A and B are shown apart, each in its own frame.
Chain A
Amino acid sequence: MKLKKATVNKLITYLMVIGMFTAIYILNEGGYLSRQLQKMLVPICINIILAISLNITVGFLGELTLGHAAFMSVGAYSGCLFSIAMKETLPMAARFPLAMLVGGLVAAVFGILVGIPVLRLRGDYLAIVTLAFGEIIRNVILNIDFFGGASGLKGTPRDSTFLIAAIVVLITMFVAMNLQSSRHGRAIMAIRDNRIAAESAGINLTYYKLLAFVLAAFFAGVAGVLYGHNLASITPDKFDYNRSIEILVVVVLGGLGSVRGAIIAAIIMYILPEYLRFMKDYRMLIYSIVLILMMLLNSSPAAIAIKTRIREALSGVFKKSKKTAINGKGGSEA
């Protein structure tokens, strides 16, 4: 019964994303999308990938990290350098996937390098150290001429298309959601729920924390490669802490640990500021109000109660046997 419910949940997420992507793809091919919207398609996919990957550390593992954009930049630079070097040697069909793999792996290595020393830290300390790490990476890139310095790295082939970005989104979703319902994912979430109990259940904290770190870094790196291949040049200032915070906001708004929520929030949070441009000075005001509203919707007791009631009503339609579960819940509240 549990498995079925989880499977249904997963299926809804897949259908939602695939349906949306197919519709956009058809509209785009038919030329029905505005230029503005067309330009936003790949960045939206990148944001979704970033949100899902950060969700692995913040949502699944429950550790606050503020350096996600740094992994993205490491992936972007290594992937772009690979593509530039292989421009003449490899055809795009082989070069681009390889570039993503290179970017992802290099970012994953950085994930390990950062992960090992900071694993002993928790909460605020971890947040501060990852924040510092992000700034260090950015400054190092900025000051090495090989990477193009402040004016950026140029000459990357513009290989990113909506179709490829959409496929990478689906792969990221697939990995994150499969992980969530496996022993590895359970171990990571157990650490979040209760560290000492997880250890006392035989879970190796170091290994599973590192695993979460590395997986998150890998997909951030891949997102970086997509990003780098979508623009004429990449500059270090695009990967500063503001970017990390933006991704974090998406993850928090989407509901920690929820892959579907992260996807929806990533889309809204990208489109919203773009479409609010006409409001000029009021833009950021409206943006903030929407942020607060979404936050309330996600975490206020009243909103949660309403959501629970809706969910129970829905599951009641599917299954009568849910009654016992609801009784169990009522018991502890009393």
Chain B
Amino acid sequence: MNRSVERTPMVEVPSNAIIPERDLGKMPVLDIRHLGIDFGGLTAVDDFNLTVGRTEIAGLIGPNGAGKTTVFNMLTNVYQPTRGSILVDGNATQGKSTDQVVKMGIARTFQNIRLFGSMSVMDNVKIGMHTHIRYNLFDSIFHTPRYHKGEKLSRARVLELLDVFGMADMANHVAGSLPYGAQRRLEIVRALATEPKIILLDEPAAGMNPSETAELMNNIRTMRDEFKISVMLIEHDMNLVMGICEGICVLNYGRIIAKGTPEEIMSNPEVIEAYLGKKGA
């Protein structure tokens, strides 16, 4: 569209961007430099460089055990990186705790679903909104007017967010009893509720059937457009990856072997050998 008018060249580290033109601001949302982690003697990820632009949908793919989830765990400081730096909107996440990183603007979902199973869908998303619900401990204990106002506002907001993923009618269900696909979508909504700048999705379509996956692709695009956030996703479903990712980064044995547009990745011989070829065999 007419995005080109506001387009400014990305000056920071253009070489790392998958698609530099997509970055609309001066700074990338996420700037990862020389990131690496060792588990004992094993180097799980090494020299990982990547920038993700504002409102970009980036894919992170690679064979099983390549280190994709480990990258997400380092981005959210669930694992402390051994080497390298991560900047969110120019601010380093080093030394921060996971909840502080969330407040800086990185939200995520998990490969093995992690919901608050005993609670309602509504409460799960409200927990995602935790830091944005404005009332204090006193209000909590005495249920002051400010408490009621805060709860009312958050309830309305939760329903809005659920609606993006077609789940508004499930607000009162117990999260743990939802079908698999709905649980995955609920995790995304909960992450979205933290008002992130970038959202990390770890295999969002795992276990979904093709029609659910197609729906999910639409949901992710809508989410990006409506909330103007960046998305980085790990996925084995190539239809989804090639369908919605604007840039793709391929990881193999903890190292990036290729970066580029879906077309470039699909025709990259190294990728075909390491990943697609292996899968086809």
B231 to chain A, nearest CB (A): 16
Residues of B near A185 (CB, < 8 A) are: 140
Determine whether B253 belongs to the interface, using a CB cutoff of 8 Å to chain A: no
Which of A179, A185, A198, A200: most chain B CB closer than 10 A?
Answer: A200
On chain B, the residues within 8 Å of A186 by CB distance are 119, 123, 126-127, 130
* Residues of the A chain whose Cβ atoms lie less than 8 Å from the Cβ of B140: 178-179, 182-185
Cβ-defined partner of A193 (8 Å) among B116, B137, B173: B116
| B159-176 interface (Cβ within 8 A of A) | 169-174, 176
Is B118's CB under 8 angstroms from A193's CB? Answer: yes
A161→B76 CA distance, assembly (Å): 54
Main secondary structure of the interface of A (DSSP, over half): helix
B78 touches A190 (CB 8 A): no
A183-B126 in contact (CB<8A)? yes
Which residues of A lie under 8 Å from residue B108 when comparing CB positions? 200
Specify which chain A residues have a CB less than 8 angstroms from the CB of B151 in the assembled complex: 3
Closest A residue to B143 using CB positions: A178
| A201 and B179 alpha carbons, distance in the complex (Å) | 22
Which of A's residues lie within 8 Å of B, judged by CB?
1-3, 175, 178-179, 182-187, 189-190, 193-194, 196-205, 211, 324-325, 328-329, 331-333
* Contact between chains at B76 and A200 (CB < 8 Å): yes
CB pair B102 A328 closer than 8 Å:
no
- A331–B180 Cα distance when bound, in Å, is 9
**A74 vs B105: C-alpha distance when bound (angstroms):** 43
CB proximity to A under 8 Å, residues B213-272? none
Across the interface, A182 reaches (CB within 8 A) one of B102, B122, B139, namely B139
- Give 6 pairs: A residue, B residue, CB < 8 Å, sorted on A: A1-B172, A194-B114, A199-B99, A200-B99, A202-B103, A325-B172
The distance from the CB of A95 to the nearest CB of chain B, in whole angstroms, is 25
B76 adjacent to A329 (CB under 8 Å): no
**Chain A residues whose CB sits within 8 angstroms of the CB of B143 once the complex forms:** 178, 182
Hey, which chain B residues are within 8 Å of A205, CB to CB? 97, 99
Q: Does A196 lie within 8 Å of B179, measured CB to CB?
A: no
Chain A residues closer than 8 Å to B142, beta-carbon distance: 178
- B178 contacts A328, CB within 8 Å? yes
Given A199-B97, A325-B173, are A187 and B127 also a contact pair (CB < 8 Å)?
yes
A189 contacts B190, CB within 8 Å? no
CB of B175 to closest CB in A, whole Å: 9
- Indicate which residue in A1, A190, A204, A329 contacts B127 across the interface (CB closer than 8 Å): A190
Q: How far is the CB of B142 from chain A (nearest CB, A)?
A: 7
Q: Is B275 interfacial (CB-CB < 8 Å)? A: no
Known: A193-B119, A328-B177, A332-B176. 8 other contacts (CB 8 A): A1-B172, A182-B141, A185-B140, A193-B115, A200-B108, A200-B114, A202-B128, A202-B194
Provide the bound-state CA to CA distance between A329 and B175, in Å: 9
- B124 CB to nearest A CB, Å: 8
For window 184-206 of chain B, which residues contact chain A by CB distance below 8 Å? Answer: 190-191, 193-194
Q: Which residue of B lies closest to A215 (CB)?
A: B141
Which B residues are in CB contact (< 8 Å) with A179?
Answer: 140-141
B48 at the interface (CB under 8 A from A): no
Q: Give complex CA distance A190, B123 in Å.
A: 9
8 Å CB contact of B178 from A193, A201, A332:
A332
Instruction: Among B78, B98, B120, B150, point to the contact of A183 (Cβ < 8 A).
Output: B150
- Are A182 and B147 closer than 8 Å at their CB atoms? yes
- What is the distance, in angstroms, from B249's C-beta to the closest C-beta of chain A? 22
Contacts of A202 in B (CB 8 A): 99, 102-103, 128, 130-131, 194
Complex: A179 Cα to B142 Cα, angstroms: 9
Please name the 8 residue pairs, one residue from A and one from B, whose CB atoms are nearest each other, closest first. Answer: A182-B140, A197-B114, A193-B116, A202-B102, A199-B98, A184-B140, A329-B177, A202-B131
